[in-house]
Each structure stands twice: as structure tokens, then as C-alpha cells.
């Protein structure tokens, strides 16, 4: 804990942490030392963990990096965090992110930008930018993020660490401040596959507080990392042919595929004709869900309330106008539009149908192949301000990460070299639902 506290202090300018729980982390460390001496410590004894600012932790503030949740303190703890605490993990602090998880660069945070430690003029990715940099810069061993459309995998790729999104429903969402409930997943950042697998296996499993959490049993992923099979791997032609793809990322992805071939695995090119429909489908459905989820922030129940109201209606309007940031307002408006009576069928219902097509196509591929490999992102980390004036350019950053989110399948981003300017490149591996053990084992083989 002391090692990390020192690092957090010397690297405070990266702005990864919103709050550091210095005293409680030290006290917890003492308690765990005692338990270790008595031989009754949990499986994560001493593992130092940071948590994204959208995960509630009893007695602590959670803001979802939004002004509207200023001063909000939860009365309960996220199930996933509680399970880690029960195994004697130490929570060292709360990590910066894009407001309500909406963004790909961490530039939409009420707590300010997070700097990428590989090049401080560049973004760390988002929305879990603080969680990625906390691991990248050795400010904690492992961190929790959330991934709705890539928010764990994309920042992991931009910072050169491992980022895993499990199957939708594998980890309880209880305590996670909702963005788009049918997509949201809690995920893990780490330097090693083993740490990642261990934390995931402890968080995963049914939770009576989240009726969508799966009842399937959880395998001990961290003990199943040995990989000795011949894998059947597919890569999607449209991803590698994409004009948006940076040449070095293409080259490094092809190099992995070639290496796999030379080691006797089968590697096949397949076509994915639905690539162009994924982003529109994702942004219609997630904004619709967000507009509904965020209606609860009205100045009555949580956090910020405008001091400028003169009647009930102006209290709602001003609280929301002053409390939400620009990107969040854009999405509430877009989501409200696609859910409105006259456009519901044209946009929302249509997008639900396309989601089903994408999911079926992806699952069929994953029945035929063990893994799909593609780049995590079309480009490496870009400079601050590069996309902030153009939301559509920013949404394009999610081109390769949203397929797994729309389909609900697990996906991991692994470091895969660097580009000419020294920025990390990510390799994404996707597997069929509930095959986390297979995904971790293959990742272990690849790294």
C-alpha cells in the first residue's frame, strides 16, 4: 500500500485518481497482515485495487465523474467490490472516467482529463481512462472499469495493459451506476493475465440483487491458464481492410496471425458484412437506454440541486441543465428522440432487430471458430482535443469494440507492440459467451 501511495503522489498530475483512501487502505493492510500471520487471509490478501467512479462503495462518494452526482454517497457497496473485499483485497481509491461512462478519451469528466503515461499529450482512452492509467503507471495492482461499448478494452489498448470485458451477465451490475443496462459489464485492468483471471473469478457469479446475473457456475479461471490445444481462429476481413485502420496496427495484428499459423493453429479469413451497422445500432440502443436510466437524476433524490430554481419545473430543468455535461445531454436528447412515439419503430425497434442479426452472426462464427482476433482500436492514442469537436469521429473510435458489446460475448484486449511514436497497440480476442476460461488460457498463451 505504501509503495502505491508514494507512486500515486509522485504521479498525481496524471489525474487518474479522484480520491485516494489512504487511511482506510493502510488500516486494511495492517488487518490483512495479521490475518496472513494467522493463516486465515483471503485469496486476494494484499492485492491493491482501484475502482472506477461509477461503482458505489458504501460510505464513500461516487460521482460517475458528473457534477450532477456531486456529494452523492452510496448506502451500499457494489456486489463485485464486496466480493473482492471479502477475499481481503484493499481498495486504494476511486478512479476518474468519462461522465456516466460516455466517451472514448476521458475528456468528458467533471474531474478533468486523465493523461496517458506513455505520452502525456495524448488521451488514455475512455471511458475508464483513470482505471487504465492507474495500472499503466503502477498506482495499483489491478483496477475495475466498466465496459458498455469498449470502455475497458479501448483504454487498455491505449495504455498498453490488459483489459477484459466478461460475458454480459457474468458479473453482477448491482452497485454500478447504469449507463445502458443491456450492455454494461464490470471489467478488469491488469498487467498479467493471471491477476485478471483471479479477480474476475471472484467477482463473477449469480447475485440475488441483479436478476439478470447468470446462474451458471464460475470456473477457477486463474487455475486453468495452461493452453495446449490447436486453436481455430478467425479474423474478419472487413476489420483489417478498414480504411480507418492505422497501418502499424494492421501489421502487428497480421504478425500475430502469422505466428499462430506457424505454430500449427488454424487461421482463417472470414467475412463480416455487418460491420458498418454495428456503430449505428450501438449508439441508437445505448442512448435510448441512457435517456431512460438518467431520468432519475432530477435534483430530488441524488447529488446536485440547482440553487437557481423558482418553482418545481425550473428545479428539474435547471438541475439537469447545470448538472449534466455536454456529451451526456447530447445522448439524452438522441435517446429521447429514438424512443419518441413517431420514431420508435423506425429507430429503436429497427436497431433491436439489427442487434439480433449481429448477435446471431457473431455467435454462429464463434460456434465454428474458437476465437475471433482483431485490432482493439483503429488507431493508437490520439492527442487531446483531436476529436473533441466532432462526436461522430469520436464514436468511430469504438468501431471494433462494439461488436462484442452488442453481442454480449466476452472480449479481451492484450498489448501487441507499439507504433512509430511509441504508443501501445492492442490486440482484441473474442470468444463465445461464458468461455472466459478459454479466453484467459489463450490470452496467457499469446502474451
127/432 with CB nearer ligand GLN: 127
Binding string to ligand GLN for residues 178 to 207, with x set by CB under 6 A, is what? Answer: -x----------------------------
CA-CA-CA-CA torsion sign (214, 174, 284, 102): negative
| Ranges within 109-168 binding ligand GLN (CB under 6 A) | 127, 146-151
Instruction: Choose, from 62, 65, 66, 127, the residue flagged as catalytic.
Output: 127
The separation between CA 143 and the C-alpha centre of its own chain, rounded to angstroms, equals 10
Q: Binding pattern to ligand GLN, positions 54-93, x when CB under 6 A?
A: ----------------------------------------
**Active-site entry in 66, 104, 105, 151:** 151
Does 52 qualify as catalytic in the annotation?
yes
Among 50, 93, 101, 124, binds ligand GLN (CB under 6 A): 101
Of 10-18, 21-29, 58-66, 98-106, which part binds ligand GLN (CB under 6 A)?
98-106
Active site residue 43: no
CB of 135 to ligand GLN, least distance (A): 17
Task: Indicate if 350 belongs to the active site.
Answer: no
Q: Closer to ligand GLN by CB, 299 or 424: give it.
A: 424
Nearest to ligand GLN of 194, 330 (CB atom): 330
Question: Considering beta carbons, is residue 169 or 222 the nearer one to ligand GLN?
Answer: 169
Minimum CB separation of residue 18 from ligand GLN in Å reads 17
Specify the residue, 88 or 184, whose C-beta has the smaller distance to ligand GLN. Answer: 184
Binding mask 273-302 for ligand GLN (x = CB under 6 A): -------------x----------------
Number of residues that bind ligand GLN (CB under 6 A): 14
Among 15, 28, 66, 104, binds ligand GLN (CB under 6 A): 104
375 binds ligand GLN (CB under 6 A): no
Span interacting with ligand GLN, options 25-33, 99-107, 110-118, 361-369, rule CB under 6 A: 99-107
- Among the listed residues 52, 143, 165, 242, the single catalytic one is 52
Give the residue with the Cβ less far from ligand GLN, 146 or 444: 146
User: Smaller CB distance to ligand GLN: residue 222 or 428?
Assistant: 428
Work out which of 398, 404, 406, 446 binds ligand GLN, going by CB under 6 A: 398
All residues at 6 or more sequence positions from 92 whose CB lies less than 8 Å from its CB, including other chains? 1, 4, 5, 8, 20, 21, 25, 48, 49, 50, 139, 140
Which CB sits closer to ligand GLN, 177 or 429?
177
Q: Which of residues 223-252 bind ligand GLN (CB under 6 A)?
A: none
Contacts of 429 (CB under 8 A, 6+ apart): 371, 372, 373, 411, 412, 414, 439, 442, 443, 446
Which residue is at the shortest CB distance from ligand GLN? 151
Peptide linkage before 126 cis (omega within 30 of 0): no
- In the complex, least distance from residue 146 CB atom to ligand GLN, rounded to whole angstroms: 6
SS (H, E, C) the chain: CHHHHHHHHHCHHHCCEEEECHHHHHHHHHHHHHHHHHCCCCCCCCCEEEEECCECCCCCECCCCCHHHCCCECCCCCHHHHHHHHCCCEEEEEECCCHHHCCCCCCCCCCCCCCCCCCCCECCCCCCHHHHHHHHCCCCCEEEEEECCCCCHHHHHHHCCEEEECCCCCECCCCECCCCCCCCEEEEEECCHHHHHHHHHHHECCECCECCCCCCCCCCHHHCCCCCCCCEEEEEHHHHCCCCCCHHHHHHHHHHHHHHHHCCCEEEEECCCCHHHHHHHHHHHHHHHHHHHHHHCCCCCCCCCCCCCCCHHHHHHHHHHHHCCHHHHHHHHHHHHHHCCCCHHHHHHHHHHHHHHHHHHHHHHHHHCCEEEEECCCCCCCECCCCCCCHHHHHHCCCCCHHHHHHCCCEEEEEEEECCCCCEEEEEEECCCCCHHHHHHHHHHHC
Chain residues binding ligand GLN by CB under 6 A are: 101-104, 127, 146-151, 179, 286, 398
| Catalytically active residues, by annotation | 52, 127, 151
Amino acid at each position: 500500500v505504501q509503495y502505491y501511495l508514494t507512486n500515486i503522489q509522485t504521479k498525481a498530475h496524471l489525474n487518474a485518481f479522484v480520491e485516494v483512501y489512504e487511511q482506510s487502505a493502510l488500516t486494511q493492510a495492517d488487518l490483512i497482515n495479521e490475518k496472513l500471520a494467522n493463516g486465515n487471509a483471503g485469496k486476494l490478501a494484499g492485492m491493491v485495487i482501484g475502482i472506477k467512479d461509477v461503482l458505489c462503495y458504501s460510505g464513500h462518494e461516487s460521482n460517475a465523474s458528473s457534477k450532477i452526482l456531486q456529494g452523492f454517497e452510496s448506502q451500499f457497496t457494489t456486489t463485485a467490490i464486496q466480493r473482492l473485499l471479502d477475499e481481503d483485497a484493499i481498495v486504494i481509491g476511486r478512479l476518474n472516467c468519462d461522465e456516466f461512462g460516455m466517451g472514448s478519451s476521458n475528456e468528458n469528466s467533471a474531474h478533468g482529463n486523465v493523461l496517458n503515461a506513455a505520452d502525456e499529450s495524448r488521451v488514455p482512452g475512455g471511458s475508464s481512462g483513470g482505471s487504465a492509467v492507474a495500472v499503466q503507471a503502477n498506482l495499483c495492482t489491478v483496477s475495475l472499469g466498466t465496459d458498455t461499448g469498449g470502455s475497458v478494452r479501448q483504454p487498455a489498448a491505449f495504455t498498453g495493459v490488459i483489459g477484459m470485458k466478461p460475458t454480459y451477465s457474468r458479473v453482477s451490475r448491482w452497485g454500478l451506476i447504469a449507463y445502458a443496462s443491456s450492455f454494461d459489464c464490470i471489467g478488469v485492468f491488469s498487467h498479467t493475465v493471471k491477476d485478471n483471471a483471479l479477480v474476475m473469478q471472484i467477482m463473477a457469479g449469480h447475485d440475488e440483487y441483479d436478476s439478470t446475473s447468470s446462474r451458471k457456475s464460475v470456473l477457477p479461471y486463474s487455475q486453468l491458464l495452461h493452453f495446449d490445444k490447436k486453436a481455430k481462429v478467425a479474423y474478419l476481413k472487413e476489420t483489417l481492410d478498414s480504411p480507418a485502420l492505422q497501418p502499424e496496427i494492421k501489421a502487428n495484428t497480421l504478425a500475430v496471425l502469422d505466428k499462430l499459423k506457424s505454430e500449427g493453429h488454424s487461421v482463417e479469413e472470414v467475412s463480416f458484412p455487418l460491420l458498418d451497422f454495428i456503430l449505428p445500432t450501438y449508439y441508437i440502443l445505448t442512448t435510448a437506454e441512457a435517456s431512460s436510466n438518467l431520468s432519475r437524476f432530477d435534483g430530488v433524490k441524488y447529488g446536485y440541486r440547482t440553487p437557481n430554481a423558482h418553482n418545481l419545473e425550473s428545479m428539474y430543468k435547471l438541475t439537469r441543465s447545470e448538472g449534466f455535461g455536454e456529451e451526456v445531454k447530447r445522448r439524452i436528447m438522441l435517446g429521447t428522440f429514438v424512443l419518441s412515439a413517431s420514431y420508435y419503430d423506425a429507430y429503436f425497434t429497427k436497431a433491436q432487430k439489427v442487434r439480433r442479426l449481429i448477435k446471431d452472426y457473431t455467435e454462429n462464427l464463434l460456434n465454428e471458430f474458437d476465437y475471433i482476433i482483431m485490432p482493439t482500436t483503429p488507431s493508437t492514442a490520439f492527442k487531446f482535443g483531436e476529436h473533441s469537436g466532432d462526436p461522430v469521429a469520436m464514436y468511430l473510435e469504438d468501431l471494433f469494440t462494439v461488436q462484442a458489446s452488442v453481442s454480449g460475448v466476452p472480449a479481451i484486449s492484450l498489448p501487441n507492440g507499439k507504433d512509430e511514436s511509441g504508443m501501445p497497440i492492442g490486440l482484441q480476442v473474442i470468444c463465445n459467451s461464458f468461455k472466459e476460461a478459454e479466453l484467459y488460457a489463450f490470452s496467457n498463451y499469446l502474451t
